[in-house]
Each structure stands twice: as C-alpha cells, then as structure tokens.
Amino acid sequence: MSAIDKIKELAKEKGVSFKIDPETWMEKKPKEEEKIDFFCLCGSRECVPHRKSNEIYGPGGRSWIMYYRCAGCTSHFDDPKKYSEAQRSLEKRLQEMLYVAKIV
C-alpha cells in the first residue's frame, strides 16, 4: 500500500475529506468556473470546454479541461480570456483598417 493510499484510508476512517487531492496536490473541487466574457469574431459569445476524465465515475473521478472551443466557429484555444482579448483587439484593428479604407 502506498503512502497516499494509507493517507486516504486513514482519512476515510476518520471521516476527513480532503480539500487538496493528495495525488496531485490540486484542489479537489475546482471552484465554480468563473463566467467568461467570451468574444469571438464569428459573433459567438459562448465557448465550450472540452474535458478529459480519468474514466472513473463516482468517487475518485476527476476531469480536466483540455481545451475550449468556440460554440460558433469551433476554433480551439487554451485560454478563453486571452482568446477573447485577442479577438477584441483584432476586431478593433479591422475596424480601424475599414475606417482608413473608407469602407465604413
């Protein structure tokens, strides 16, 4: 039995629940995913996380977000916040270009 299993067993016995997962040292239950002010040039304001799980259902089951994709154009990205920022600045630059070109 590994040290981790011993700790888990002991915790179970004592009815202690971990805030930190002893295997990964990560918070067991990630706090409510913060609402992202998502923006994509395709017009979508929604992104969908793509998760990978350790295929354990029930206790011990965990899932990780591998990447996100835009609900509109299905672009893939790691960080919706950074993606939104980049898309916003791109939009701004496009508008400037259109203005210079006297299209708008």
Enumerate binding residues for Zn ion (CB under 5 A).
40, 42, 44, 70, 72-73
Using an 8 Å Cβ cutoff, are 83 and 48 in contact?
A: no
Judged by CB, which is closer to Zn ion: 7, or 75?
Answer: 75
Buried b (16+ CB within 10 A) or exposed e, 64-92: eeeebebeeeeeebeebeebbeebeeeee
Judged by CB, which is closer to Zn ion: 4, or 73?
Answer: 73
The minimum distance between CB 93 and Zn ion, in angstroms, equals 17
The minimum distance between CB 76 and Zn ion, in angstroms, equals 10
Judged by CB, which is closer to Zn ion: 10, or 73?
Answer: 73
